[in-house]
Amino acid sequence: MSDYRIKEHPVLDIPPTQEVTFFWEGREMKGQEGEMISAALFANGVRTFSYHQKDDAPLGLFCANGQCGQCTVIVNGRPLKACMTPLRSNMRIEPLRGLPVLSAEEESGTFHEIEDVETDVLIIGGGPAGLTAAIELGKAGVRTLLIDDKDKLGGKLVLQTHKFFGSVEDSFAGTRGFEIGRFLEKEVRSLSSVEIWLDTAAIAVYSDKKVGVLKNNETYVLVTPRIILNATGAREKSLPFPGNTLPGVYGAGAFQTLVNRDLVKASDKLFIVGGGNVGLIAGYHALQAGIDVVGLIEAQKDVGGYRVHKDKLVRMGVPVYTRHTVVSANGDKAVESVTVASVDDSFRVVPGTEKTFSCDTLLIAVGLDPVNEFHLQALDFGMESYLAGDAEEIAEASAAMFSGKIKGLEITGKLKKESKKIPAEWTKKMEILKSRPGRDVEPQTSGHNQGVYPVFNCGQEIPCNPCTSVCPKNAIYIDPENMMGVPVFLEDKGCIGCMQCVAICPGLAVTLVDFRKESDMPTVTLPYEFGDKGLNAGDKAFVTDKAGNPLGEYEVISLRKAGKVSNTYLVQFRMPAEEAKKAAGLIIQEDHTVTEPLREYIPEIRDDEIVCRCERVTAGEIRELIRKGVRDINQLKAITRAGMGACGGKTCQSIILRLMREEGADVSEITRDTLRPLFFDTPLRYFAGIKDGESHE
């Protein structure tokens, strides 16, 4: 039987687990006690979870975040979301085919009163913004309830295995995301006025100013907060194209969840759509998990993410195709290949440029939308509500941490009726951290053949400066007032060859060239984040320049762990001087056949493109109504059911708006859909206060 577990990982520890047996369609399978059912199924090579009632279309995981319901399976007779349901021994799991059967019940169960609790501040979401806000509130002794629908704090930090950008002093630059999450969690847990409820989703907000939450995934509690802070992060945008709902097409967040949280090798061959930081980083995470990355496309003329992320991928052997779009995902029951093509200035496909690549997974990383409907509805109902982090504005987690801090302080001031001065420094830092990448700047290089010095390959202004913090000689300079600059090596301060700048750089964009032993065959030190299992001293490896052009195959003279920086290695080569100064990375993905297009071209599937995944409504159906003059999304919904499904329009709204604009609808004519509770579908019994397990006594 296929086993898609990640057995070793260069950055993540593989914790011990308890193996249990479960059954999928009657077949016995092995899984891990308590892992999400979606992870157990992926680990066993199962990617199709259900078949839609409308057209039997096979469906797989999509959001991996409990938001959409597309992964619903039948567990011991009940329909449950695979991505939110922990696996237990002997579970009998079946794919959902069409509509589920309502399981028979003789007993109503015992009704309990619904508990009402009060708090000063309710923070929804324990990610980077929610945690830092809770810390500020906790330090001020404000009674705070922090809820998160996952079983761990940290939000998406839990999934971030890469080192963070920003600066060391105030946003943990150079430290890996999941480690930052642990630091913040420790601090929050030490604050006595902050209560934490995990496995607790906020499912509704009501006009009588109460928030309905499902504590421990089963006890319905009504919370009355004086102030709400929504730190609910973001959700991925969906993209309409033929085949976009095939199992194997999903968001980068779902992918990172599978790979970095669930430690499942979710794919053998991955193709990525979208060159923002999310897509670029997902590509890197894939390589670290031993997954081949076939390619990455970006519709713009350059990637939107940090250039260091892109360069890193390219150097490792992943082709990045700019000005390309996805034409279709192909396959009968799941993704077997993807067809992409070049686009012209108006982003239209250039006929004849189509290429088809074999892959089993297509990651959609075309941007994020804030999860803010809770906040909007709370405001609507006259509640005091704030946003922090991605829920307010999509940016890096480092910016979210500042945004949470600021909101925490602001709310403290509100509640204590005293004006809390937000340190100007915080706001400034947050703004810098939110910055989009700036100009391309070629860093200066010493260029000579003597002594030892660092070479910087970052080449683009981004908010990042940990290299300046770690240099013991203070020889690396970026304007401390504006960390957007690129680093400059100050020759007069000198370099002692300590290699700390190489180790800490989150972009793997610093190398060290040492001419001290041999001036025409200097030693080059490169950072390496793939552990010490695959590469050893004496092995040969392909070294590339900054742009990924091979400089030749060289022998590794040493590979060692870089002191304090977790799971980063330093690998050294001896190379001719001119090559050595250009060396920037290693090819990780050496098998060229992975990235080559297939010979046969699979024509575009002329099925209508699905806009609403839940109700399987096509772009054609929606366009027809827009052309008939429909401008109210509520009316569109009434007629087509688009947005009426389990996810409540979370994925199709932005596509519908796009279709409206494409059809020439004026924004002022468009009416957005009405928000209503609930935000997550929730069993009726929980509202009656019935406790699971009790009814079977």
Q: How far is the CB of 147 from other proteins (least distance, A)?
A: 16
Residue 316, SS3 per DSSP:
coil
User: For residues 109 and 497, which CB has a smaller minimum distance to other proteins in the complex?
Assistant: 109
DSSP 211: E
How far from 628 is each of 619, 644, 660, CA to CA, in Å?
14, 21, 12
How far apart CA 38 and CA 45 sit, in angstroms, is 11
User: For residues 178 and 220, which CB has a smaller minimum distance to other proteins in the complex?
Assistant: 220
Q: How far is the CB of 677 from other proteins (least distance, A)?
A: 5
Q: How far is the CB of 651 from other proteins (least distance, A)?
A: 16
How far apart CA 243 and CA 250 sit, in angstroms, is 11
Residues at the interface with other proteins (CB under 8 A): 53, 69, 78-79, 98-109, 111, 114, 204, 206-208, 210, 212, 220, 222, 380-381, 628, 630-632, 634-635, 637-639, 641, 646, 648, 671, 676-678, 681-685, 687-690
How many CB atoms are closer than 10 A to CB 290?
Answer: 16
User: For residues 115 and 578, which CB has a smaller minimum distance to other proteins in the complex?
Assistant: 115
User: For residues 168 and 688, which CB has a smaller minimum distance to other proteins in the complex?
Assistant: 688
Q: How far is the CB of 659 from other proteins (least distance, A)?
A: 16
Angle at 490 between CA 484 and CA 496, to 5 degrees: 115
CB 362 within 8 A of CB 399: no
Strand partners for 677: none
Q: How far is the CB of 334 from other proteins (least distance, A)?
A: 25
User: For residues 219 and 328, which CB has a smaller minimum distance to other proteins in the complex?
Assistant: 219
How far apart CA 187 and CA 175 sit, in angstroms, is 17
User: For residues 102 and 424, which CB has a smaller minimum distance to other proteins in the complex?
Assistant: 102
Q: Supply φ then ψ for residue 501, to 5 degrees.
A: -65, -35
Q: How far is the CB of 144 from other proteins (least distance, A)?
A: 21
Q: How far is the CB of 368 from other proteins (least distance, A)?
A: 25
User: For residues 351 and 693, which CB has a smaller minimum distance to other proteins in the complex?
Assistant: 693
User: For residues 380 and 578, which CB has a smaller minimum distance to other proteins in the complex?
Assistant: 380
Q: Positive or negative CA dihedral for 313, 655, 154, 380?
A: positive
Q: How far is the CB of 98 from other proteins (least distance, A)?
A: 8
Q: Residue 253 is inside which H or E element, if any?
A: helix 252-256
User: For residues 266 and 656, which CB has a smaller minimum distance to other proteins in the complex?
Assistant: 656
Distance of CA 204 to the CA centre of its chain: 25
Note every long-range contact of 79-85, with CB atoms under 8 Å and residues 24 or more positions apart, other chains counting: 80/37, 82/36, 82/37, 82/38, 82/41, 82/49, 83/36, 83/37, 83/38, 83/254, 83/257, 84/36, 84/149, 84/217, 85/36, 85/37
User: For residues 63 and 296, which CB has a smaller minimum distance to other proteins in the complex?
Assistant: 63
How far apart CA 85 and CA 65 sit, in angstroms, is 11
Q: How far is the CB of 101 from other proteins (least distance, A)?
A: 5
Omega prior to 678 cis, within 30 of 0? yes
Residue 326 one-letter amino acid: V
Query: Which residues, other chains included, contact 685 with Cβ-Cβ below 8 Å and sequence gap of 6+?
Result: 109, 692
| Six token digits for residue 415 | 């509640």
Q: How far is the CB of 45 from other proteins (least distance, A)?
A: 28
How far apart CA 663 and CA 123 sit, in angstroms, is 40
CB 560 within 8 A of CB 554: no
Q: How far is the CB of 630 from other proteins (least distance, A)?
A: 7
| Six token digits for residue 608 | 């209508």
User: For residues 206 and 426, which CB has a smaller minimum distance to other proteins in the complex?
Assistant: 206
